[in-house]
Amino acid sequence: MTKKRVAATLAPVPLRRTLWTGIQFVASLSVVAFLVAFLRIQNFSPAPPRLMHLRFRDPVSFSGEPKIAFLFLSRAGLPLDFVWHQFFKNARAGNFSIYVHSKPAFKLDKSTTMSSFFYDRQLEDSVQVDWGEASMIEAERLLLKAALKDPANQRFVLVSDSCIPLYNFDYVYNYLTSSPKSFVDSFLDKKECRYNEKMSPFIPKDKWRKGSQWIILIRRHAEVVVDDDVIFPVFKKHCKRRLAKNLDEEHIIKPADKKQRSCIPDEHYLPTLLSMGELDDQLERRTLTYTLWNSSNNATDKQSWHPVTFQYGNASPKEINKIKNIKHVYYDTDSRTEWCQSNGTSVPCFLFARKFSRGAGMRLLSEGFFGPFEPSLLLPESS
């Protein structure tokens, strides 16, 4: 009887061991499952933006008066070269310099320009530029890089081949050199949703900015743009246009699919870069180049936006003087009115304007808008 009782007592022992082993196995599986889930969550969570530390060059000393570098973005030639010839003709040679980015292998000489001011001013390392692509930014950076080689260049003015000056050189020179700030149109992009979340490891959404391509920089900011090797590669990879084929800057069609973002690099790169560098307080947040945008009521045109080109018929001095009298600009995007000031003094908002046809430029020249008319300006210069 005693042996049977012992056997009955010992029988449940293996069962307890089995249960304990099962509990340990389930617990281990739970831990593994938790770790796998945790790692997956980490992989799909966006990494925190990397802080951008700008590299500022040591100031370069120079003697003499500061220069303004005029940086021309051109498809090929300069159709308004006779207008700019009149502008530069009345300036001191030591107060300005000229750089032109044109298509590769294009040369500015007597056969391609009417003004000797532009002879041999083309960049030798130009790139093929496609509108709405990062190559536009690359061309701007090449212009700035070339201009920075001259330590006397202290202001950098980006203009297109369809731009005209609204004032004489002295007025423009004093306007720009009297301000310690860059003139960069920069505002929050709240409506068009061009920000790509894939940029977030480098560009946080709260630093994303939009603005006009036509900027004027002080030397310190020009150096920041040229030395940038972080933000520009991100733009090349993630900021791309999504437009219908056979369209250019004249007619930009908004994507029908709201999920299809159309990002135009040159409208975002520079203001975003300077915002990333916490340089907003060193900017006048406006462009000095006037553009008249399409305001058609046509149902088809409402889906597009493009700059109006001034032709011979609507480019009268009276119309251009209306632009010169603009003293404030309203930004619908961020409900902001920008009163145009320089060092606390009210000033005209614009020094330049676009887009102007060659015929429009000839009319303004012949009617004395740029000073006394000289017919010889419309003739090729003799050797």
List of E strands, 181-288: 182-183, 187-188, 209-210, 216-218, 252-253, 283-284
Cα–Cα nearest to 216, from 113, 147, 120: 147
For the beta carbon of residue 96, count every other beta carbon within 10 angstroms: 20
pLDDT of 348 > 60? The answer is: yes
Say what the pLDDT of residue 379 is: 59
3-state secondary structure at position 267: helix
Is 196 domain-assigned?
yes
Lowest mean pLDDT among 5-9, 315-319, 371-375: 5-9
pLDDT of 259 > 60? The answer is: no
Say what the pLDDT of residue 16 is: 64
Residue whose token pair is 């010839």:
85
Say what the pLDDT of residue 133 is: 87
Is 201 domain-assigned?
yes
Q: Compute the C-alpha angle 205/208/212, nearest 5°.
A: 165
Looking at mean pLDDT, say which of 83-87, 193-197, 208-212 comes out highest.
83-87
Say what the pLDDT of residue 8 is: 44
Is 198 domain-assigned?
yes
Cα–Cα nearest to 97, from 166, 169, 153: 153
Is 47 domain-assigned?
no
Alpha-carbon distances of 185 from 99, 217, 235, 339, rounded to whole Å: 22, 11, 18, 13
Say what the pLDDT of residue 262 is: 75
Q: Tell me: the pLDDT tens digits for 21-45?
A: 766 666 667 666 666 555 564 554 4
Lowest mean pLDDT among 7-11, 133-137, 188-192: 7-11
pLDDT of 9 > 60? The answer is: no
Is 61 domain-assigned?
no
Give the whole-number percent of the chain exceeding pLDDT 90. Answer: 48
Range of the domain at 85: 67-378
Average pLDDT over residues 343-355: 92
Is 8 domain-assigned?
no
pLDDT classification of 344: cutoffs 50, 70, 90: confident
Is 22 domain-assigned?
no
Lowest mean pLDDT among 102-111, 187-196, 222-231: 187-196
Averaged pLDDT of the chain: 82
Cα separation, 230 vs 277, in Å, equals: 12
Say what the pLDDT of residue 4 is: 45
Q: Tell me: the pLDDT tens digits for 235-252?
A: 888 888 765 444 444 444
CB 267 within 8 A of CB 212: yes
Lowest mean pLDDT among 32-46, 113-127, 336-350: 32-46
Q: Residue 114: CB partners within 8 Å, gap ≥ 6?
A: 81, 82, 85, 377, 378, 379, 380, 381
Is 57 domain-assigned?
no
pLDDT of 60 > 70? The answer is: yes
Q: How many domains does the chain have?
A: 1
